[in-house]
Each structure stands twice: as structure tokens, then as C-alpha cells.
């Protein structure tokens, strides 16, 4: 049984003619990311149709629960409503992350199994962190912060600043990709074991049954519950919480 972990498939290459830019790639990650955006957009439209003030339906109740949960998540971890403007971004980030993680249950490759996805998120978060630091202490104050507590710490402070988006991206990417790889390896190993054991049965029956990965039924599904459901939701929550805390701490100066 073949097991491929070479990465996202490339469906189309569009030459740009500019060596420094390279080719524009239409990859599996990009396509599935569009699918994720369509799912979230469609869900938002579905839940927010025909909103009412009284006698609300189940759809509106779910929509209000989601909004209230996003409000509480941000306000509880920032100590008030000072960062309410961040709520839509946090909700969008969490929604995109969790749908991207869980979409692997449909057989599609999760966009978060590609480091470029988390890297893009991390760059956006890092930009917001830096903007809040500059807003809180001014540009000169931001630069001066690299020299604290003493000037000799400047290189280490710069490395620490750069490490923030890198660590956020790699943590999320590593957990999602490892789950995919471990699930795939176990499935492939069980398929080989099934083929070897059933191949011991003599005659045409053994030859037929050895092609059916019977042992691959059951255990991979249990592991998928952890890696796809629990770990996927947990990583989305952790990434969102780190975003909230980093931005809130940056605004505090």
C-alpha cells in the first residue's frame, strides 16, 4: 500500500515571467481554502437570514450563541470591552482554523497541514501585535523596547520578536500535519498486516481476502476522532487564545 506525504498537489502552474516571483501555483491547499471560505460564508448567510427581535428561531439562536461566545472569549481574556473591535477578527480566525482542521474528515487535505497557511495567519497576527505596540508607546518607544532591560539584550529581544509568528505557525502546523501522518502510517501498517495475515489462508480465498484491508477498519476511526476532532478543535482554540493574549499584551505596552 502506497503512502504519500509529499505535500499538497499542484493543479496548475501559471508562469509570471518574473524570476523573483516564480510561478503562480494553484495548489490543493488553495482550492480547499476556498472551499473552507465558501462553507463559512454559506453558514453565516444561512444562520443570519430573517433575523427577528422576538420569537427567534433555532438558526438565530445558534447565531446569537456564536456571537455571544466570541464576545465572552475576547472580553474574559482582555478584562473588559476595550478590545471589542478585535472580536470579528478573532471569530473569523477561530472559525477558519477549526473548519480547516475538521475538513479532513471529508477526505480533503486540511489547509492547515500546509505551513504556508499558518504562516500567513501568523504574519497577520504579528502585524496587529506590532501595530498595537507602536500605538501604545509610539514608534520610538517600540524601538526602545528592544533595548530593555539593558542594551546588550537587543539581539535577543529582536529574535524573541521574530520568534513569535514563527512559533505560532509551526505549533499549529506541526500538530495538524503530525496527526495526518500518524493516521496515514497506522492505516497503511494495518493494511499491510491485514494483507500478510489473510494471505496465509491457502487458495483463492486467501488471495482474495488479502486485498481487503480488514484490520484497517475501526482503529483509524478512533484515532481520527482524536487527531481530527479533539486535536483540531484544540489547536484552533490555542492559536486563537495566543492571538488574543499577544495583541492584548502589546496594547498594554
Question: Average of pLDDT values for 161-182?
Answer: 84
3 phi and psi angles, rounded to 5 deg? -135, 115
Query: Does some domain include residue 1?
Result: no
The per-residue pLDDT for 253 is 60
- The string of pLDDT tens digits covering residues 24-58 is 778 888 999 999 999 999 999 999 888 888 888 88
Q: Which residues of 195-205 are buried (b: 16+ CB within 10 A; e: fewer)?
A: beebeeeeeee
C-alpha 248 chain-centroid distance: 21
**Does the pLDDT value for residue 8 go beyond 80?**
no
Query: Does some domain include residue 4?
Result: no
Number of domains within the chain:
1
Query: Does some domain include residue 13?
Result: no
Query: Does some domain include residue 247?
Result: yes
Query: Does some domain include residue 19?
Result: no
Helices (H), 22-153: 28-47, 58-78, 87-102, 115-144
Q: Residues near 74 by Cβ (< 8 Å), separated by ≥ 6?
A: 83, 84, 86, 87, 90, 244
Neighbours of 31 (CB within 10 A): 17
- The string of pLDDT tens digits covering residues 90-106 is 999 999 999 998 888 78
Query: Does some domain include residue 96?
Result: yes
Q: What 3-state DSSP class applies to 13?
A: strand
- Name the grid cell of 42: 454559506
Question: Average of pLDDT values for 192-204?
Answer: 78
Contact 46, 60 (CB under 8 A): no
Which residues form the domain of 164?
Answer: 28-252
**Does the pLDDT value for residue 22 go beyond 90?**
no
Question: Average of pLDDT values for 133-161?
Answer: 86
With bands split at pLDDT 50, 70 and 90, how would you rate the model's confidence at 67?
Answer: very high
Question: Average of pLDDT values for 224-245?
Answer: 83
Query: Does some domain include residue 18?
Result: no
With bands split at pLDDT 50, 70 and 90, how would you rate the model's confidence at 71?
Answer: very high
The per-residue pLDDT for 35 is 94
With bands split at pLDDT 50, 70 and 90, how would you rate the model's confidence at 6?
Answer: low
Dist CA 173 CA 232 (whole Å): 11
Query: Does some domain include residue 61?
Result: yes
Amino acid at each position: 500500500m502506497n503512502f504519500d506525504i509529499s505535500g499538497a498537489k499542484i493543479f496548475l502552474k501559471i508562469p509570471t515571467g518574473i524570476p523573483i516571483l516564480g510561478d503562480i501555483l494553484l495548489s490543493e491547499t488553495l482550492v480547499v481554502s476556498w472551499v473552507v471560505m465558501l462553507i463559512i460564508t454559506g453558514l453565516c448567510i444561512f444562520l443570519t437570514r430573517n433575523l427577528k427581535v422576538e420569537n427567534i428561531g433555532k438558526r438565530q439562536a445558534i447565531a446569537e450563541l456564536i456571537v455571544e461566545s466570541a464576545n465572552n472569549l475576547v472580553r474574559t481574556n482582555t478584562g473588559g470591552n476595550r478590545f471589542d473591535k478585535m472580536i470579528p477578527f478573532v471569530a473569523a480566525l477561530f472559525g477558519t482554523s477549526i473548519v480547516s482542521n475538521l475538513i479532513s474528515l471529508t477526505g480533503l487535505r486540511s489547509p492547515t497541514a500546509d505551513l504556508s497557511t499558518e504562516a500567513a495567519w501568523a504574519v497577520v497576527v504579528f502585524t496587529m501585535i506590532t501595530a498595537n505596540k507602536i500605538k501604545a508607546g509610539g514608534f520610538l518607544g517600540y524601538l526602545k523596547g528592544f533595548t530593555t532591560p539593558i542594551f546588550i539584550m537587543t539581539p535577543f529581544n529582536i529574535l524573541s520578536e521574530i520568534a513569535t509568528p514563527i512559533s505560532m505557525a509551526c505549533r499549529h502546523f506541526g500538530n495538524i500535519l503530525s496527526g495526518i501522518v500518524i493516521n496515514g502510517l497506522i492505516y497503511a501498517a494495518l493494511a499491510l498486516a491485514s494483507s500478510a495475515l489473510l494471505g496465509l489462508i491457502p487458495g483463492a480465498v486467501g488471495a482474495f481476502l488479502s486485498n481487503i484491508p480488514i484490520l484497517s477498519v475501526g482503529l483509524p476511526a478512533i484515532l481520527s476522532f482524536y487527531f481530527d476532532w479533539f486535536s483540531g478543535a484544540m489547536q484552533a482554540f490555542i492559536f486563537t487564545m495566543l492571538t488574543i493574549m499577544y495583541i492584548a499584551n502589546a496594547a498594554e505596552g
